[in-house]
Chains A and B, each alone.
Chain A
Amino acid sequence: MKFTQAMMAIAAATAMQVATSEPAQATGKMKCEAGPQSTWVSREKLEAKLKKDGWKVKKSKVDGGCYEVYATTPEGDRVEAYFHPVTMEKLLVSRRGKVLFRKQD
């Protein structure tokens, strides 16, 4: 049956793609157009500022041109938060996928 074979080929191809795929670079949840990285503040500086504000930072990385931080807020929520890498402005805070804060433009 030609159709079955075609479906199988597609399934096999996607399975192969999954098996060999690189971890996602950008998630697309938040995008920052912040210019060259040389103009950014360092992650250490952002983490230090957050710590001073009462956050407990678990991990931080670059995602979609923004700084993405996994942390506990001063209120005790375990969150994933996005910050602008130049202004350090808070852009998005979500707890297990539920958005707690989104910057209004």
Chain B
Amino acid sequence: MIVRIWNNIHVFWVILALPAAFMAAALVRDPAAAFDLIHSSGEVSVRLLVLALGISPLRQLLGPRRWILWLVRRRRAIGVAAFGYAVLHLTFYLLDMVFWDQIVADAMVFSIWTGYLALAIFALMALTSNDGVMRLLRANWKRLQRLVYAAAVLTAVHWIFVDGEVRGAIIHFVPLIILEIARMIHIFTKRHGQLRKPVP
């Protein structure tokens, strides 16, 4: 019973939406909370992004395990949720800023426009994430989705420069960096091994 509830995709959506519900409640209780929610919504977005991006290196490194396939089936939901929290992040920022002239002036700062650019890429990916567009774009869809790596780098840069230090961002991106390095080494050594295999 519990397993069935846990495996239900709708239940998974509810779990993904929970932090947003708490954030909305905090904002209703105190509109000034928007300022504090900027950071937490951005952080949730990055955690989901790292999770979504980590799934495919995990599968390549460990093979088709059950829990990885469970995650693979939810990767789209996780990715779209990451975008959702990025939109919330922008919303809280705008609510906190209030004045358009300040928002525009802010957007000229390197740390801020990298964030906008990352969000624009995520928006493109989210808009093209449904089955219909996937079929329509065929091979180009995969090429388009690879833009996510550029967006991930922009996101890391945005975080590091807003903070003025690397700690918070690095802690979050390190698992993904390690997985990507391991994947590259894995692919390289596998190829190497195949080359050395004697021809029967």
Measured CB to CB, the residues of A under 8 A from B are 1, 3-4, 7-8, 10-12, 14-15, 17-18, 21, 24, 27-29, 58-59, 70, 72, 76-78, 80, 94-99
A15–B175 touching, CB < 8 Å: yes
Measured CB to CB, the residues of B under 8 A from A are 32, 35-36, 47, 54, 61-62, 96-97, 99, 101-102, 105-106, 109-112, 161-165, 167-168, 171-172, 174-175, 178-179, 181-182, 185-186
Give CA–CA (A46, B163) in the complex, Å. Answer: 23
Closest residue of chain A to B40, judged by CB? Answer: A23
- In the assembled complex, 26 residue pairs joining A and B whose CB atoms fall closer than 8 Å, in A order, are A4-B61, A4-B62, A4-B182, A8-B182, A12-B175, A14-B175, A15-B175, A18-B47, A18-B172, A18-B174, A18-B175, A24-B167, A27-B167, A28-B165, A58-B96, A59-B36, A78-B97, A78-B102, A78-B106, A96-B109, A96-B161, A97-B109, A97-B161, A98-B111, A98-B161, A99-B164
Closest chain A CB from B100 CB (angstroms): 12
Give CA–CA (A72, B105) in the complex, Å. Answer: 13
Q: Which 3 A-B pairs have the closest CB atoms?
A: A7-B182, A97-B111, A97-B161
One of A58, A80, A98 near B109 (C-beta < 8 A): A98
User: Is chain A's interface secondary structure helix, strand, loop, or mixed overall?
Assistant: mixed
One of B102, B168, B179 near A11 (C-beta < 8 A): B179
Closest chain A CB from B3 CB (angstroms): 23
B168–A7 touching, CB < 8 Å: no
One of A8, A17, A21 near B62 (C-beta < 8 A): A8
Closest residue of chain A to B160, judged by CB? Answer: A97
Closest residue of chain B to A70, judged by CB? Answer: B35
Contacts of A4 in B (CB 8 A): 61-62, 182, 186
B171–A17 touching, CB < 8 Å: yes
Closest residue of chain B to A95, judged by CB? Answer: B109
One of B32, B112, B178 near A7 (C-beta < 8 A): B178
One of A15, A29, A59, A76 near B164 (C-beta < 8 A): A29
Closest chain B CB from A17 CB (angstroms): 7
Contacts of B186 in A (CB 8 A): 1, 4
A97–B164 touching, CB < 8 Å: yes
Give CA–CA (A10, B176) in the complex, Å. Answer: 11
Give CA–CA (A27, B163) in the complex, Å. Answer: 9
Provided the pairs A4-B186, A27-B167, A28-B167 are in contact, do residues A10 and B35 lie with their beta carbons within 8 angstroms?
no
Contacts of A58 in B (CB 8 A): 32, 35, 96
B171–A8 touching, CB < 8 Å: no
Give CA–CA (A21, B167) in the complex, Å. Answer: 12
Contacts of A21 in B (CB 8 A): 171
A94–B164 touching, CB < 8 Å: yes
